[in-house]
Structure 1
Amino acid sequence: MENRLKNLKSAMKKQSFQQLQFTHKHRQRVLNDIKKHGQTDEEVLLAVLQLLTHKKTGFELTNHLRSRGIHRFEEEQGFLYTLLHGLEQKQYVKAAWDDSQTKYYVLNDKGRKVLQKAEAKSPTFLLKELLQGG
C-alpha cells in the first residue's frame, strides 16, 4: 500500500497543468472570489465589537471569529490580544479576571455607543472613530 502511495505522489509531481487554459473572465472571477474572502480591518473590528456585547475570553472570541469566516488571528493570536488591549486602553472594552484566573472582555457603554454608530453608518466610520479616540 505504501509503495502505491509513493508512486502516486511521484506521478502527481510529474503532472503538469499547463494544458489547462482559463479565459480572462474566469481568472477575474476567481480573483474576485479570493478578494471577497479577505476581510478589511474595519470588518474585523466590527465583528470583534459585535461579539463583545457579551463577555468572552480571547479564546472564545477567536472561535466565534472563525465561525464567521475570519481567520486572521489563528496564526498569530497575539494580534487579537494587542487589539483587545488597545480597545481596553481607549476605554471601549472592559476586561476582568474571574476566580479561575480567566480574563474576560466585554464592551462598556462607550464601546456600545461606537458599535451602534458603526452599524448605523459604516464599518469605515468605526475605524476612524477608534483611531481618533472619539
Structure 2
Amino acid sequence: MENRLIGLRKSMEKTTFKHLNFSEQQRKKVYEKINKTYENEEDVFLAVLQLLISEKTGYELAKLLRGRGIQKFEGNEGFLYTILHRLEQNHLIKSSWDNSGAKYYQLNDKGRKTLRKAEKTSTKKRLILKELIEG
C-alpha cells in the first residue's frame, strides 16, 4: 500500500465512519481518484521554468518534477524533452553540452521574464479560485 494510505484504515476505524463498508468497486474508484494526475500542460511548463532557474540535465529535471508530484510524462519521457525543445526554440532556455555528453538546460533572460509573468498569472488564478470557493 502506498505511504500516504498506510494509516487510513486505522484512522477510519477510530472515527465516526467505522460503520461504513465500501465495495471493491468503490475502493477502486477512490484509489483511481487519489492517483489521478490533474496537471495540465500549463502547470508542467510553469514547473519546468521554475526548476530551470539553475542549470539541470533532463534527467535531473525529471527527478525534480516527480518530486513535485507531476506525472504527466511518466512512461513517456519524450514529452519532457519535447517541452524542453519547444522552450529552447522559443528562446526561453539555453542549453549546453559538457565533456561527458550530458546536455544542460537553464533559463535565459527572456525565460526568467516569462517565468515572473507566468507566476503572477498563476497567483491571480489561485486568488480568484480561492475567492470563489470561500465566497
**Same fold, judged at TM 0.5 (above):** yes
Letter in 1 for 2:46: L
Give the CA RMSD over aligned residues: 3.0
Q: For 1:1-134, what aligned pairs fall within 5 Å after superposition?
A: 20=23, 33=34, 37-122=37-122
CA contact (8 A) 1:96 1:105 kept: yes
CA contact (8 A) 1:42 1:123 kept: no
* Secondary structure class of the residue paired with 1:121: helix
After TM superposition, the score normalised by the length of structure 2 is 0.65
Q: Note if contact 1:57-1:104 (Cα within 8 Å) is conserved in structure 2.
A: yes
Aligned residues: 104
Evaluate the alpha carbon distance shift between residue 22 and residue 116 of structure 1 in structure 2; reply closer, same or farther with a 3 A threshold. same
Contact 1:57 1:103 in 2 (8 A): yes
Which is greater in Rg?
Answer: 1
Greater shift after overlay, 106-115 or 39-48? Answer: 39-48
- In the superposition, the TM-score normalised over structure 1's length comes to 0.65
Q: Which runs of 5 or more structure 2 residues have no equivalent in the other structure?
A: 1-21, 126-135
In 1: Cα distance, 2:117 partner to 2:94 partner? 19
Q: Please list the CA deviations of residues 8-55 of structure 1 after superposition, one character each: whole Å capped at 9, or x if unmatched.
A: xxxxxxxxxxx83999xxxx98887566x4211111110000000011
Please state whether the residue corresponding to 2:56 is helix, strand or coil.
coil
- Deviation above 3 Å: which 4+ runs of structure 1? 28-35
